Structure 1
Amino acid sequence: MDYTRDFDTAVQTFILTDLPASTPADAEFFLKTGLEGWQNGRPELKFGGRTLHRAYPIGTQLSFKVSRDAPESEEGDAWGQRRPDRCHVVTGEATHELSVQSWMDSPLSERPSTLSAQTSRLEVHSPELEDEFTVLVWQPPQANTAGQRFPVLYLHDGQNVFDQATAFAGRTWQAAEAAQALAAAGLPCILVAVTVRDAHRASDYVPFEIAANGFHSSAAEYQAFLTGTLKPLIDARFPTLPEAQHTAQAGSSFGGVASLYGGLSRPDVWGSIGAFSPSVWVQDFGLLAWSEEHPAPHSRVYLDMGDHEGTFTADAARLVTQTRLLAARLRDCVQDVVLTIGEDHWHTEDAWAARFPGFLRWWLNAMSE
């Protein structure tokens, strides 16, 4: 598809400055972009030697990587594993010098784990979904103090929360670091990270039947697992404050939808909700109407959105507007809503990591007032 026909465009020049020693001498190189469906080997995206010139519409929020002319040959990180996307907003002509660290078809090693000694790993069976979940539980240093109990935050996409070895593109939310800093400041909590069922993410997290989940939702069963199986287990094994006012769930993207759905469905269990970059577009923005139909007068809601989420700057502006609208609708349905717009933030773990400490402080401060 020609994306440049009806738009003002700017030429982007991509230059390969460094290549790994493992690069075959006869290799050909291509650009892969989100705008063009991450397809590999497109003739119009082939480098001539080490240089590619390509026009993109002004306002494109370009995410891209380099690949070779072979399957699974995408550029990797320092370990030869998946690296974060390169990102650039097209505002005019620009030159991008690209240093390739590794190729994913020649991995160097596994990424080292960054789980701390304060983190416990549980394998929990869900009778609601007839499946197993890996659950990571981080406790503050104060947990060693007899008799002290703590508020608890449950996090979706738990593989991305603590450990770079399992996080998408090796980028975590740095949640343990944020919680450690607040614990040192007198605001301790327990974090419970629930690892996703990869093949069922859209089904478990989205309560609507949409194409992404094959028009089948298991969100009610997933939330029943959190409320009926996991939370009682956590409360029995760890020094929690089990009441709703001390319990929250949070997540990003589809996980943000899951948090709003779960928290507003059971305000007797979840007193606070963290919705990072929620996918407000699902079911033709059905989340807005659904939220209004599920008031939770004692609940507190944190919403945010980056201002660079979407394929074009106009898309990003619409997402910000829709998130503002959701916040306005929720203000009539819950006790408190706080809205944050992340400046220069994309739809990435790095952006959510940057906003997470502010959310955590907001949540914990409310319980210390």
Structure 2
Amino acid sequence: MDSSHDFQTAVQTFTLGDLPANTSSDARFFLVTGLEGWKRGLPELEFRRDGNTRVLRRAYPLGTLLAFNVLVFNVLMDSCVEGDAWGQRRPDRFHPVQEAASHTLHVLSWQDHENTPRPSTLTGTTETLSVFSPELDDTFTVTVWTPPQHTQTGARFPVLYLHDGGNMFDRASAFTGVEWECNEAAQTLAQKGLPCLMVAVTVRGAHRENDYVPFDMAGNDAPSSADAYQTFLAGTLKPLIDLRFRTLPDARHTAQAGSSSGGLASLYGGLSHPHIWGTIGAFSPFLEVHDKAIFTWSAEHPAPRSRLYLDMGTLEGNSLQETAWLVFLPRRYAAQKRQTVDEVQMAIGKEHRHDEAAWAARFPGFLRWWLEGLER
């Protein structure tokens, strides 16, 4: 341990293991981390030769929640980050720094080489639509999952709209190859007499933060388009879904949900249009944006008939100190909204990170809470 500062650190030893066969012999390798803002090619994060291996030793403060990956750099390849088994983006590596530790890093691929499609994990009955938004002058890909009862009976069903739609049903389209498994969770509940439809709305790539975040934020290259996006959901997409499928179109039976900025989008959309969205699912919502403007805005937008779900993981952020703050914020928000909505459900994901695996683990609980609440 290093106690020369006012905090303790622990040395982490990273050793490169197996590398892809197409790795150049003159390659240099670096660690890229969330703690350093994912900056590429930092000299202090370069792996150095140690005999027949390449090693990096670096001290991090105890309590650091270290998200990291391996970067390769050479003349031909410039720089690129390691990928998954198919050459596509992989989930970040992760380690909570509690003591000195060693890590052997086996790299499966480099992302800038030719990749192959991930095998699909899509299950159940789905229909994919291309829906033009006059509000945004753009086309959205929308995937609708229907329960078995949709073809077996003449009943109508509640509907859940989901942001970041590519992550919801299928590994092949998921951002890092990890899906929420929403269809499997919904299938299980449908078999228990709690069916619903789900509408997964694929994000517009570079426009994600503009569509999802209703307030100014650093990094946005254009003004917020959140109002136009929510108008598209409520005014263009929802009427189409209600016409094409057997839905229960009233607000009580209609919900929207998402994670991170998508969780913020759900709060904004649900509270600004409570006559459309009766339930809001905010997974790890991005509450800090624009100096926590959502708190003041929400106080001015009561929704006395709405139901609100909030959650957060205990390992989100870059340190245990930061994640404690991130857990506190939704608790504070929940306490505020209990005064102005019908119901608030708060969940804490123990040892959950800010990623699809965590949201997949918490989604079945949210879905059951929403659907069982409709039965009361």
Q: Answer whether TM exceeds 0.5 for this pair.
A: yes
- Offset at residue 37 of structure 1 (A): 2.0
Cα-Cα RMSD:
1.5
Query: Which consecutive residues of structure 2, in runs of 5 or more, have no partner in the other structure?
Result: none
Q: What TM-score does the superposition give when structure 1 sets the normalisation length? A: 0.95
Answering whether residue 155 of structure 2 is matched by residue 155 of structure 1, we say no
Report the alpha carbon displacement of residue 72 of structure 1 after superposing the two structures with TM.
4.3
Greater mean alpha carbon deviation, residues 12-21 or residues 342-351: 12-21
- Report the alpha carbon displacement of residue 215 of structure 1 after superposing the two structures with TM: 6.1
Does the 8 Å CA contact 1:81/1:107 hold for their aligned counterparts? no
In the alignment, which residue of structure 1 is the partner of 2:22? 22
User: Aligned AA for 2:190?
Assistant: A
The corresponding residue for 1:77 is 84
Residue type of the alignment partner of 1:225 = F
TM-score (norm 2): 0.94
Matched ranges for 1:191-340 at <5 A: 191-214=198-221, 216-340=223-347
After TM superposition, give the deviation of residue 20 of structure 1 in Å: 2.3
CA contact (8 A) 1:210 1:216 kept: no
- What percent identity do the matched residue pairs reach? 61
Tell me the number of residue pairs that the alignment of Structure 1 and Structure 2 aligns: 366
Residue equivalent to 2:10: 10
Moved more, 73-82 or 214-223: 214-223
CA contact (8 A) 1:209 1:215 kept: no
Which of residues 43, 60, 67 in structure 2 aligns to 1:63? 67
CA contact (8 A) 2:123 2:184 kept: no
- Whichever residue aligns with residue 53 of structure 1, its letter is R
Aligned residue for 1:231, secondary structure, equals helix
- 1:184 is aligned to 191
In 2, distance between residues paired with 1:27 and 1:221? Answer: 46
Structure 2 Cα separation of the partners of residues 265 and 161 of structure 1:
24
Shift in Å at residue 112 of structure 1? 2.4
Q: 1:91 and 2:98 equivalent?
A: yes
What stretches of structure 1 move > 4 A for 4+ residues in a row?
none
Call closer, same or farther: CA 1:129–1:89 in 2, change over 3 Å.
same
Structure 1 counterpart SS, 2:305: strand
Aligned match of 1:46: 46
Distance 1:214 1:41, change over 3 A: closer
* Partner Cα separation in structure 1 for residue 269 and residue 248 of structure 2: 19
Return the offset for 1:57: 1.3
Q: Give the letter aligned to residue 269 of structure 1.
A: I
Q: Which runs of 5+ in 1 are unaligned?
A: none
Give, in whole Å, the separation in 2 of the partners of 1:175 and 1:60: 31
Contact 2:124 2:183 in 1 (8 A): no
Alignment of 1:358 with 2:345, yes or no, is: no
